Amino acid sequence: MATATEVPQVLLARLRRAGGDTDNIELKSAAGGLSTSLTSSLCALSNLPGGG
């Protein structure tokens, strides 16, 4: 099982292999603060089969 430190690295590697967001993982930049599109992304993801 991956540690809390390893989990982000594992997810980042998966996104890099996929060439971007996947059906299960969406990445948002927060360098300048919380993304203004975060809430719409969460709503869209929660509408996926199985609740996102």
What pLDDT digit, counting tens, does each position of 10-37 carry?
888 999 999 988 877 877 777 888 878 7
**Contact 38/28 with Cβ under 8 angstroms?**
yes
**Contact 52/45 with Cβ under 8 angstroms?**
yes
- Greater confidence (14 vs 4) lies with 14
Q: Is the pTM of the predicted complex or chain greater than 0.75?
A: no
CA-to-CA separations, 37 to 3, 12, 14, 22, 29, in angstroms, rounded: 29, 20, 22, 17, 10
At 23, list the tokens: 């059906």
CA quadruple 19, 48, 37, 3: dihedral sign: negative
